[in-house]
Amino acid sequence: MTLFTLKYAPKNSQQIFGQQQALTQLKEFILNYKSQKNRAALLHGPIGVGKTSSVYALAKELNYDILELNSSDLRDESAMKSFLGSALGQQSLFFKPKLILIDEVDNISGREDRGCIPALVSAIEKSTFPVILTANDTTDSKLKPLHKVCVEIEYHNLQYRTIANILQLVCEQEKITFDEKCLNTLARQVDGDVRAALIDLQICSPNNKLNYDLSTNISDRKRTQSILNSLSIIFKSSQAQNALPVLDDIDMDTNEIFLWVDENLPQEYLSAKSLAKAYESLARADVFNGRIKRRQHWRFLVYINNLLTGGISAAKEEKNPQFIQYKPTMRILKIWQANMKNAKKKEIAIKISKATHTSKKVALDQIPYFQSLFQKLASPQMIKELNLTDEEVDWLRKKY
């Protein structure tokens, strides 16, 4: 039996639903490639919203050959260079225009695949064919070089009504008997992932009749592949139990997950009551996290996961219908900037404390006095005695 995801894969751009703006941008990039400043297009957005399907649909519509590479197939720099050198240099067999598609580029590991991203950037800059990359999450620092050579095209989560309409069309084509409530349940629980919705529909209609019990119990399948998808399920899911397992497959430190949730929660929950309840769950999770750090009681980790997922998901009064672009926290960057700003001050304080036989705390308190002194007069003997560098002397002479 043919999978619905293959059987109903879009054949042209008219069959891509809910991504008109992205499609227009992608089509313009392909048709005007030679005049484009950027040599590749980076399609980014959640899983199952039509990124790869758009490329294939437009390739067929515009009569382009397409050569696809999944980034997980090539695990080192030499393999990447070998493939790209061949793919980007060869003309199509029938002299048709060609597209190079590199899928899931965010799966390239920062350590194991060291050298792959620079090799990819170098190949893109020399390519005579349009190169299209797809990614679910582009916030990772390892992808930073790609932002400079790519036109970035954003794909957003599909509304459940759009997915319900797609499922209804498939049901009519397959002569599947369905109930509208059941169809809406399938559409809601996939959180914008049309590919997952088609898989669910096929599983839940074994005898050409959509089974309600199957459709309501299928939500326990794990779909989480990144922190962005996890947040989307936590914040958007209509049932709290759907959110419970989403952190199971996330390879991220718990403290970092706290920061992601804290940063994006106010953007999703607009009701004061919902926001207060959600932050109560976040605060309780933080209490358990503190107990783990102090006492090494790792059994509390399950409570943290439940509070960060189901607790926050259940706090909302209603789902925010707007698409929210989740962003990483800027708190770590601000802490780093503050540390860099104070690093010179601390280094000087250490030298002052040694020369004056005082504590570092006392020396820090004396810094304003030394700044005032150096702005007016600083003898070479004093600089020598404190063992200050030219940079440190300049820092003391600046007015803050």
For 136, other C-beta atoms within 10 Å of its C-beta total: 20
Residue type, 3: L
Distance from C-alpha of 124 to C-alpha of 145, rounded to nearest angstrom:
11
- Give CATH for domain 4-154: 3.40.50.300
Residue type, 108: I
pLDDT in tens, 105-153: 877 755 445 567 888 888 888 778 889 999 888 887 778 888 888 999 9
pLDDT in tens, 198-224: 888 888 888 888 876 666 665 544 443
Q: Is the pLDDT of residue 377 over 80?
A: no
For 26, other C-beta atoms within 10 Å of its C-beta total: 25
Q: 58: number of CA atoms within 13 Å, CB side?
A: 25
Residue 90 has what pLDDT? 58
Over residues 287-294, the mean pLDDT reads 89
Residue 351 backbone zone (phi > 0: left; psi -120 to 50: alpha; other: beta): alpha
65 backbone dihedrals φ, ψ, rounded to 5°: -75, 150
pTM for the whole structure: 0.55
Helix axes 51-62, 20-31, angle to 10 degrees: 50
Does domain 157-221 match CATH 3.40.50.300? no
Helix (H) or strand (E) holding 43: strand 40-44
Q: Is the pLDDT of residue 258 over 50?
A: yes
